[in-house]
Structure 1
Amino acid sequence: MNKIISLEQAMDLVHDGMTVMIPGFMGVGTPETLVDGLVEKGLQDLFIICTDTARPNVGIGKLIVNGQVKKLYASHIGTNPETGRMMNEGLIDVTLIPQGTLAERIRAGGAGLGGFLTPTGVGTVVEEGKQKIVVDGKDYLLELPLRADVALIRGSKVDKKGNIWYNAATRNFNTVMATAAKTVIVEAQELVEVGEIDPNNVMTPGIFVDYIVRGNA
């Protein structure tokens, strides 16, 4: 199967109202070409799962400013004043999740787990609406798994079977999000032949990747 498709073909796989995972932190590791594709297509009512909303004109911030996001799960929105403004005006439904908890909820979704217990957030607003379980006299919150319709990820080097290597910090949430979506599309900063990535350096096996789009590296 040839996994390489055009940006236009990739955008045909994403529709209004979908849940979309987008990795990166402050734009580092974010698939900018794919995000720009979402902006250009003008998709609406998206539910975005991400670590942060970067800045107004960087990465996911473009979707925020363009009014395309209806619901947001993130760990940090402080560097994008538009996210805060739109949240306060009721234009975006924002849920803030501790970053470690967010990562583990996505991992649980990818692993097919029913959830996990964590002490993080006990006694704070984080526990509101969640089941509290006592184990050996200690309180834990039951955190449920997260999955998405589509994960848009970015690889520093990607072979034609979808095996991925990430450079340094660009790895961040890319690896875990690749396991937790029905459809995974990777933006390849550099596209190489199969075998050009040392198997020991493969960070996301191609079995998790459905489609590859050439990035504007």
Structure 2
Amino acid sequence: MADVTPAGTAADTSLDAPDTEADDMMGVAHAVADEARSFLTTVTEVGSGTNPEAAIPLLLLAVSDLLAAGSRLGAIVDVVPPERYEPDIGPDADVDPLRVALANTLEGIDDYAEVVDPLLGSEVTASTVSGDLVTVAGALVQGLRHYESGHELEALWWWQFSYLSHWGERASSALRVLQTVLAHLRLDVDDDVAAEAEYDALQI
């Protein structure tokens, strides 16, 4: 299990660090890479529109699992890669097609309002679930490109930094909206339908 010293504590997590610490960091990197691939597979599948009835549950599961991995990134010490600059891995991945696909799939439930920073005030802004998911996807892809180029600690540094700076917040906002949508879908039914379902459940 990775060291869970609170984030912000200075620590040398480069390849020159003790073997056990480096191994722990590699374990976290491997776990996040697996969750990142799983998340990207799910959002791409949902964006394809092949199974619209399952879109919300699939996204809810994918975002929840990813945030569990993200919580480890927030809990471990600050990651310091061996090189103090980001290796060039070429231009950023084009995620606009995914944004459009998700927006089409989520049409009618994509837009929502959120408080910009609940600790600093009550300012409200407009957001979209598709935009949130694509922001997360873009950050994960960037880290995966480092990871698959053999720069595992660089990938871990990027995932941790971007989790704390933006994708963790976007994923958390998307998760709340997805859970709210699912609750409405399951609970907003006519009284007669609800009563019939309750009656059926009591006969089991």
Relative to the length of structure 1, the TM-score reads: 0.24
* Structure holding more strand per residue: 1
* Structure holding more helix per residue: 2
Which structure has more relative contact order (CA 8 Å, sep 6+)? It is 2
Relative to the length of structure 2, the TM-score reads: 0.25
